[in-house]
Each structure stands twice: as structure tokens, then as C-alpha cells.
Amino acid sequence: MVRIILFDGECNFCDKSVQFIIKRDPKGHFKFASLQGDIGKELLNKHNSPKGIDSFVLIENNKCYLKSSAALQVCKNLKGAWKLLYILLVFPKPFRNFLYGIIAKNRYKWFGTKESCMLPSPEERKRFL
């Protein structure tokens, strides 16, 4: 099963989220690519993602999940109690995405941006596209 997370490579919160996921995904279910990179742009085009997506996308078996749906789909596959967050999918998508949108809209202000990319370990590097 192919699971690719597209993330904002300039966002500190997004970078910390990727590190969080890597730590709780010891079997390496997820691969990662920056939204700003060529591979990220190509994947967005291939999956007909809406224009202007700039925070977090999950592509799983050729299906594209956005915003809160993407985050909760990821939680389902993490180690530990984080998978319990998947149950939040019972809430209506507009409500979930409203809350998600508040964080996404303010992430640069609250968490800052990155001047340079992190340097992943050789083991982690294999998971980046």
C-alpha cells in the first residue's frame, strides 16, 4: 500500500508533524514529499487536487485526502493511542475542516517558518521522495 504525505516544507509545524509521524511509524508505512518540490507538485496534479492546497495532503492508494481527513487517516496508522483520533471522522467534515483551517491559517504566525530543510538521518532519508 502506497501512502505519501505531502507537507509544507517551509512550515515549522509541518516539519515537526513529519518528525512526529516518523517516530510513530516504525514500519515505514508513510513516505514524504514537500508540496513545494517537483514531486509534490506532480503528485497534486496527478491526483487532481484543488488549486491552492498548501498545508497537508495524504495520498493513499491513488486516493487524495485533504485537511482534517488527511490528518485523521494518518492517525489511523500510527503506533499507540494516536490511532484513536481516527474516530473524529464521525464529526461532519465542514466542522473538522473549520478547526483544521484555524491551525493551518495561523501556522506560520504561531510556529514560524524554516530557513532551511532538516537533514534526515540515512534511515529517514529513504522515506523522502
Q: Hey, what amino acid is at 27?
A: K
Q: Which residues of the chain have pLDDT under 70?
A: 115-121
Q: What integer pLDDT is reported at residue 68 of this predicted model?
A: 95
Contact 7, 20 (CB under 8 A): no
C-alpha cell at 128: 523522502
pTM of the predicted model as reported, rounded to 2 decimal places: 0.87
| pLDDT tens profile 27-43 | 899 999 999 999 999 99
pLDDT value, residue 106 = 93
